[in-house]
Chains A and B, each alone.
Chain A
């Protein structure tokens, strides 16, 4: 019964669905099961006393020496380490390895490793890693491009958390690394523009519509400059917003040009106004001065007309007199109005 049990255990050990291999703390192999030998394509006796590193790939050998062995020494076991083994045909196969140190009756220790072949899973892992590397590469390219662009470029999460800024942002605000949190950025918006900017910023993420606003931002020396801030959503194939791309374009020069143009226009208008005023004054003086010499003979005419009116006149003469008197009176009204206007004018 004892022998049957031993044989069965031995059979399980030899034919286990995983490789089992035991080695000394110095790495020399003590024993190994049939499964592992089959994978290594090597005989049991040929493997004995060889170093465990001799059946590992080159990269795995360095990893074992530098990382796995120190770990084993410190904690007496290592779990789920991925190592590539090399068989007698020089082909490699990927495995997940658990190792534990166990004390022997004589006081020494041996390391016992279980080795699980994961070639298929490894292929998926490699593919996933390739995709991850590709994504990282794409991200680096975007960041390089963003750093090349002279504008301030940033990205945010779907909710609006700033998660990337280009070098120009760090330089402009004198930020270091993770300084670009929302509060820090808000501090650098001009107090007069801040409220409006925050309201629009928040509203954009709720409405998921593009944002465009103009605000003054403070640069590292402490001066404010005008910027055009734009934010556009990036949507996936299903139309769901995944993130936002943002840019701040410095429009300080444009604003300054607008101010300069406005100032020039104002100056010209003032100059034109002064000219008009001067001309108006001159005309007023002329009118005021000339109205008196013109009015003097008219006054005489009107006086003479009032004398003539008392004289006998036939009908024809009286008719002419009426016309003359009417014209003189109208002329007198015109001159009075001119004088009045020159007095009333500012």
Chain B
């Protein structure tokens, strides 16, 4: 049997009773939650993980067929829950992970008590009156930029080690995580993410959820948050003052506050 915890580089920290699962989005790994996690590790058991292909996950476990759509990633989340015997967890997903969490919660509702979506999108492409934010050729443009920057990533991340002389463990972790990410898997994940369309699944979600919607998010316009709220039972939306697509990094305090409000 495959070691699921090793496959997804699962880290369990904190000692609180309820589980809180943090799922990173495209282009990141579990380090992306480092500003948020400390605020909750006292009261929750925090579960962090990397999707296969990201961070320090087991790259050899990448199965092109399994991860050809979001269901494969949702299955990974469910396997982690089964392995850790998780029930009634708080699931916090950024970007594409919001929909991965949705698919997982539809399949196994008892595993989750609440879902928090940070900058979610059920469909990134514009489609017949639906404003997802991307045109069909935008994905190819993004893949081209990714292609031309793979070397740039490595160089950037390698220099982190020198740039964080006072925190070598941080620099090393980041350098390792980004350098070990397979660019081909990253491209495949980009395709799966931006070609995904889970709009028809939203109505099947029975677990309570909340969307944290940024203003001026080119990847998830406000209309997308409104669409999710309209089509998902038990979903509410909060418009953040943060801008961009990564408010947990640019405005972590606001995310912590909103998460606390949602939990209480």
Contacts and interface: CB of A to CB of B under 8 A. Distances in A.
Contact of A63 (B25, B32, B145, B243): B145
A71 B157 CA distance: 9
Interface of A: 25-27, 51, 53, 57-63, 65-67, 69-71, 73-84, 122, 125, 129, 177-178
B168 interface: no
B245 A66 contact: yes
A63 B218 contact: no
A75 B170 CA distance: 9
A53 B246 contact: no
Given A62-B219, A63-B149, 8 more contacts: A65-B218, A65-B219, A70-B28, A71-B157, A74-B249, A75-B174, A79-B159, A81-B149
B32 A62 contact: no
A53 B218 contact: yes
18 contacts: A58-B141, A62-B134, A62-B138, A63-B146, A65-B219, A65-B246, A67-B149, A70-B32, A73-B249, A73-B250, A75-B164, A76-B163, A79-B155, A80-B152, A81-B152, A82-B145, A82-B152, A83-B145
B249 A60 contact: no
Nearest to A67: B27
Given A67-B27, A77-B163, A80-B152, A59 B138 contact: yes
Contacts of A71: 156-157
A59 B135 CA distance: 11
A11 to B, nearest CB: 31
Interface in B77-97: 95
Interface of B: 25-28, 31-32, 34, 60, 95, 134-135, 138, 140-149, 151-153, 155-157, 159-160, 163-164, 171, 174, 216-219, 243-246, 249-250
Identify the interface centre among B60, B95, B152, B250: most chain A CB within 10 Å of its CB: B152
Contacts of B135: 58
Contacts of A65: 217-219, 244-246
A221 to B, nearest CB: 23
Contact of B26 (A66, A76, A83, A177): A66
Contact of A59 (B26, B144, B156, B243): B144
B246 A70 contact: yes
Contacts of B151: 80
A84 B145 contact: yes
A66 B156 contact: no
Contact of B156 (A58, A80, A178): A80
Given A61-B218, A80-B155, A81-B149, A69 B244 contact: yes
A100 to B, nearest CB: 10
Nearest to B133: A62
A27 B215 CA distance: 13
Specify the main secondary structure of chain B where it touches its partner.
helix
A65 B190 CA distance: 13
Contact of B219 (A60, A66, A81, A178): A66
A240 B204 CA distance: 63
Contacts of B28: 66, 70
Given A63-B146, A84-B145, A26 B163 contact: no
A80 B60 CA distance: 29
A58 B137 CA distance: 9
B145 A79 contact: no
A70 B249 contact: yes
Nearest to B153: A67
B73 to A, nearest CB: 16
A74 B142 CA distance: 22
A186 B31 CA distance: 44
A73 B148 contact: no
Given A65-B219, A66-B219, A129 B148 contact: yes
Contacts of B164: 75
Nearest to A77: B163
B163 A75 contact: yes
Contact of B60 (A25, A58, A177): A177
Identify the interface centre among A51, A61, A70: most chain B CB within 10 Å of its CB: A70
A69 B141 contact: no
B250 A26 contact: yes
Contact of A129 (B95, B134, B147): B147
Contacts of B250: 25-26, 69, 73
Contacts of A69: 244-246, 249-250
Contacts of B174: 74-75
Contact of B27 (A25, A26, A66, A129): A66
A59 B246 contact: no
Identify the interface centre among B140, B145, B250: most chain A CB within 10 Å of its CB: B145
A145 B106 CA distance: 41
Contact of B145 (A59, A70, A125): A59
A108 B263 CA distance: 31
B156 A81 contact: yes
A159 to B, nearest CB: 24
Contacts of B245: 65-66, 69
A53 B159 CA distance: 25
B221 to A, nearest CB: 12
A78 B32 contact: no
Contacts of B216: 51
